[in-house]
Structure 1
Amino acid sequence: MAPPVVRGTAAWRYFGDFRDLLLAGQILVLQVAHPIVAAGVRDHSDYTEDPWTRLMRTGASLSIYVYGGSDGARYEAERLRKLHRKFTGFTGGRRYSALHPGAYAWVHATLVMAPVDAQRFFGRPMSTSELDEYYAQMCDVGRLLGVRAQDLPSSWPEFEQYYRETISSFGPNETISTLFETIRTVRKPWSGLPDSWWRRIQKGHARVQMFLIRATLPTELRARLGLEWTARDERCFARFRRAVRLIGFAVPPALRTAHMRWVGRLNVWLRAHPRAYRFLARR
């Protein structure tokens, strides 16, 4: 049995690291590359209309089930399962459910892998013992969320193989194309932001996001999606990685996850004070 996610353990140190945010685009692409997830997002998600709210809700959810304590994690797990039961439809002439065991496990798998990739790209790769502890802890989180034990491999090496084999079946789809278009045309997060300012910010934001997606996606999937990657891009990414690595090493380890831990505690408090939660949600 894995140790609980408390200060000093692998999941506590790595899951909420600020460098994980650099892989947000990669995670979304990998999730919607799964056919069932793609259909669910296409039919039920409002991220194209309000991506900023969707991003904040996702961050809040992640913070709770890792940093919100056992009670907070159980509450969030029950909320997510209840929410996803409503997401059903048809794709390819067959009925699907957002709680399809394989698809549900895959979404969790992408969140498990992201901090490992973030450390590999932008920090210090996790040691074998850290990976073993981290993976065991994240399997416990997955089971709490309703991922069946048989849908996640029992060890980290087996998980890596499962991850590679799953990605090998992915290719282009309509939802990935919509995601890329949303990144390029995303609306401003605040209505008071002048349009002239946002046009500049939007263009830079799209360029950075698409660069990071191209840089961090598995090579084979990047090629199947038709995303170009040049030697010049590789050199640019190497310089970027060195800069982020230096910044990360300058930040004390406890502060690297402080934002996610703070959001986790805040959201647990809000769940215990529903009036305050409803007020902020309306705002």
Structure 2
Amino acid sequence: MSVHSPQFIESWRRQLIGTFSNNAAEVPQWELELARGSDVGHFGPDSAVWAVHGSMTPIIAGIRALLLQALHPGAMAGVHDFSDYKEDPLGRLAGTIRWIFTVTYGDTTTARAGSGWVMRLHQKVHGTYLDADGEVQPYSANDPEIARWVHLAFTDAFLSSHQQFGGPIPGGPDAYVAEWAVAGELMGIPDPPRSESELRKQMAAYDSQLRSSEYVREALSFLKRPPLPASQRLGYRVLFAGAVASLEPRHRELLGLRAPHLGPVPVPMTFPVKLVLGVIRLGLGPQGPSERSARERIARLSAAG
């Protein structure tokens, strides 16, 4: 079958949609239900959060966020001990997407309920890990300091990826960090950062706690070559390379990764990443079902006065 044939293109498009929806045959019900609700939500069509999360950059941001999160031994222990990401990677991806889009596009009640559901799942995620000094420490997924690192990694990854590979952000980087602080508060994190400088400061405070480990190397091995359809593997390699290139040098070094290069010459990743994201946009369409549902809700509320 030619790559230019309508059959190939449609098959590629179905596989692409399946990657982000856990191979659901139809739009998941939870996305349709975002059209319900009694208020606009924490954000809105003109927000920095909608500009970032409604673009294609969250795809590469997701890779960067996972790389960053893995460096905290407590967070990584929880993933190793309780996550089924190797056996069900699309299910894990779909669950993360559901939470992010519920908070982004749902009304305030739905956003709060979605976050509460995640926190209840996290109640069973606890155990012990070796910290950067080799000392045994307890961990819990709902521990505010571990949850804070996860929030910081998400915020940093989504912001940095959009700055490098996306378009303008209404209000600038500070607006995005301040708006997405709501997500941290919903997950029980006290005083999440509300500016880019606060984000960098809070992340730097974790430097002494971050380390590599066998768990990190296992996760890296999976992230480098996840079980994707053949039609998506080249594009994913480009996005993974872009995510690695976008990392802070200190984080890249801890992960044992190198920015893409030809000999001693760094390979610029902006154009190839944007090209791949543009192709994905063509496959997924200009607007996702979560955003469509949110716009329906907002239009209904506006019409009702």
Q: Smaller-chain TM-score range?
A: 0.7 to 0.9
The structural deviation recorded for 1:178 is 1.2
TM-score normalized by structure 2? 0.69
The structural deviation recorded for 1:18 is 1.5
C-alpha change, 1:204 and 1:244, in structure 2 (3 Å) is closer
1:40-59 alignment, distance < 5 Å? 40-59=78-97
Give the match for residue 173 of structure 1: 213
Given candidates 167, 171, 176, the residue that maps to 1:134 is 176
1:1-283 alignment, distance < 5 Å? 4-92=42-130, 93-124=136-167, 126=169, 129-149=171-191, 152-167=192-207, 169-187=209-227, 198=229, 200-201=230-231, 204=234, 207-229=237-259, 231-232=261-262, 234-241=266-273, 243=275, 247=278, 258-262=288-292
Residue 30 of structure 1 aligns to which amino acid in structure 2? L
Residue 201 of structure 2 aligns to which amino acid in structure 1? Q
Q: Is the 8 A contact 2:99 2:115 kept in 1?
A: no
Q: Find the aligned partners of 1:41 and 1:172 in 2 and give their Cα distance.
A: 14
More helix by share: 1
The structural deviation recorded for 1:121 is 1.0
Asked which structure has the greater RCO (Cα within 8 Å, sep 6+), the reply is: 1
Higher mean C-alpha deviation, range 98-107 or range 11-20: 11-20
Q: Is the 8 A contact 1:64 1:73 kept in 2?
A: yes
Q: Is the 8 A contact 1:60 1:263 kept in 2?
A: no
Residue 67 of structure 2 aligns to which amino acid in structure 1? V
Q: Find the aligned partners of 2:139 and 2:175 in 1 and give their Cα distance.
A: 34
Q: Is the 8 A contact 1:11 1:137 kept in 2?
A: yes
Corresponding pairs, count: 246
C-alpha change, 1:218 and 1:139, in structure 2 (3 Å) is same
The RMSD of aligned alpha carbons is 3.1
C-alpha change, 1:178 and 1:205, in structure 2 (3 Å) is farther
% of aligned pairs identical? 25
Residues 176-204 of structure 1 show CA distances to partners (whole Å, capped at 9, x for unaligned) of 2111222355335xxxxxxxxx5x45763
Q: Is the 8 A contact 1:13 1:257 kept in 2?
A: no
The structural deviation recorded for 1:166 is 2.6
Q: Structure 1 regions of 5+ residues with no counterpart?
A: 189-197, 267-283
Q: Secondary structure at the match of 1:73?
A: helix
TM-score normalized by structure 1? 0.74
Residues 100-146 of structure 1 show CA distances to partners (whole Å, capped at 9, x for unaligned) of 1111011112222223212221124547x433332222112221221
Structure 1 runs (4+) greater than 6 angstroms displaced: 263-266
Q: Is the 8 A contact 2:179 2:194 kept in 1?
A: no
